[in-house]
Amino acid sequence: MSTEAARRNGEWLDAWDPENEETWDKGLAWKTLWITTFSLFLAFVAWFLPSALIPKLNPLGYSFSTSQLYWMAAMPGLSAGLFRLLWMVLPPVMGTRKMVALTSLLLVFSTLGWGVRVQEPTAPYWELMVLAFLAGIGGGAFSGFMPSTSYFFPKRKQGTALGLQAGIGNFGVSAVQLLTPYLIGFSWLAFFGSHQTISMPGKAPQDVWYQNAAFIWIPLMVLAAVLAWTMLKSVPITANIRQQFDIFSNVDTWLMTLLYIMTFGTFSGLAAQFGLLMADLYGISNPDIVSGTGAAAKVLVEGYDVPDVVKFVFLGPLIGAGARVLFAPLTDRTGGAMWTVVSGVGLIASIAFTLPALTPDTTSAATLDAGFDRFLWGMLAIFLFSGIGNASTFKQMPMIFEKRQAGGVIGWTAAIAAFGPFFFGIGVTTLGPTTFYAIGIAWAVMCVAITWMRYARKGAPKPS
């Protein structure tokens, strides 16, 4: 169907000016926000489902190396960044309705695949890598959904609207990681497939149903597609694909990209790798702490209770997403730039606090417990300040750029920052966590200086 025919059939709005209070349809704007946010929440579930399952693959019977697991957890970040480069140009071309409905259906493929392949430890490594790559479609959706939503709201409301959508969408990360330990224990949910047996050091083997962690979301993804197709409209924006790329001649596009790498790149990178890093430093993957695997595993440090990572990994994404939601309205009142400075300073301090805990002291259970506590609290602080920065940068962009460019910049910066899980996984594997975190401090120092000089100080060239 042509765009003109679609407009006649009511899919495309004839005209839309959210800056005109008298004609702005507030109800349609908020309905669009809630439906697309529901779909975005599920997109983040699909994107980070592998991060909830990968730390458990070896206890389920697979025998992948630590490097293979890090690469697998990094793959959704690599693909999400690539998919975001595609999704960022879709809103003016496809419109909100088609884009959201189609994306919601695409989420089913990787989610279904993971639900099938965790039931038996027989999948080859390449197949799980393909499923990890397809999970990145959920991350790619962000660069289409956010610009699309920005079309429906006036600038004075975009900090709140985009903060709510992104923050609630980010809750999908913590939801899939929080619910997975509980869902896998309910045999009555396992309509398809058989149980698995999992063993943890010092604990009796347990029957689980890991397919529940994937299959439970599929009906909701189908529902999101139906809601989008039947209830959403599309805003006509004059911007073909070539026109959308004129954002790259604007220096602020590149500076905001650096800032969003600091905030969302940190959030997404840590969210994807948090469980593996915890297991590698203080859990079952540290050979100085645990010897052997499965039922034969033995704790080498007397008195140390090895943490089950799935009970902790949801906390970081939960705090980061909550900060994004709570601080979004504040950015509408005070502007985003100063909060980006706060985010950067907080990241510098919290990363520095965490650094000593990245080298566990395995001499006793007491030193391990103290190190684990420092690691956990430091990581949660990093998530908090990255969430604040996620809200503030998305307030800055609509204020810095004109309407047509703002959507493209939001999509572009989100695309590059989505590589966070990939670069975090590769950085930790190749450089080691201590060196990689030190680079993170240097990056945050650079971003604080950029924000202060360009956007936050009195008389700044682009106050935002």
Q: What is the pLDDT tens value at each position of the chain, 464 positions in all? A: 444 444 445 788 887 888 888 788 888 999 999 999 999 999 999 999 998 888 888 888 888 888 898 889 889 988 998 998 888 888 888 888 999 999 999 999 999 999 988 888 889 999 999 999 999 999 999 888 887 888 888 877 877 888 888 888 888 888 888 888 788 777 666 666 676 667 666 666 777 778 888 899 999 999 999 999 999 988 887 655 565 567 888 999 999 999 999 998 999 888 888 888 998 999 888 889 988 766 667 888 888 988 887 788 888 988 998 898 888 888 888 889 999 999 999 999 999 999 999 999 999 999 999 999 999 999 999 999 999 999 999 889 888 887 667 777 877 888 888 888 888 888 888 899 999 999 999 999 999 999 999 999 998 998 87
Looking at residue 5, what is its pLDDT? 43
Give just the sign of the alpha carbon dihedral 377, 379, 385, 390: negative
Please count the other Cβ atoms lying within 10 Å of the Cβ belonging to residue 8. 12
Tell me the domains of the chain and their CATH numbers.
Answer: 20-237 (1.20.1250.20), 240-463 (1.20.1250.20)
> Is 92 within 8 Å of 239 (Cβ atoms)?
yes
The strand ranges marked E within 52-136 are none
Question: In Å, what is the CA distance from 171 to each residue of 395, 418, 463?
Answer: 19, 16, 30
Q: Which two tokens stand for residue 264?
A: 């969302």
Q: How far apart are CA 57 and CA 35, in angstroms?
A: 34
Q: How far apart are CA 267 and CA 253, in angstroms?
A: 20
Tokens 């960044």 sit on residue = 81
Instruction: Give the three-class secondary structure for 402.
Output: coil
DSSP 250: S
Q: Which two tokens stand for residue 35?
A: 């439906």
Looking at residue 364, what is its pLDDT? 92
Looking at residue 203, what is its pLDDT? 65
> Is 309 within 8 Å of 275 (Cβ atoms)?
yes
Q: Name 334's Cβ contacts closer than 8 Å, sequence gap at least 6.
A: none
Residue 330 exposure: Cα atoms within 13 Å on the Cβ side: 16
Q: How far apart are CA 375 and CA 369, in angstroms?
A: 10
* pTM (2 d.p.): 0.76
Looking at residue 413, what is its pLDDT? 87
Please classify residue 41 by burial: count the beta carbons closer than 10 Å to its beta carbon, then call 0-12 exposed, 13-18 middle and 19+ buried.
Answer: buried
Looking at residue 296, what is its pLDDT? 67
Q: Which two tokens stand for residue 134?
A: 């397809």
Q: Name 274's Cβ contacts closer than 8 Å, sequence gap at least 6.
A: 51, 309, 312, 313, 316, 317, 379
Q: Name 16's Cβ contacts closer than 8 Å, sequence gap at least 6.
A: 151, 152, 235, 236
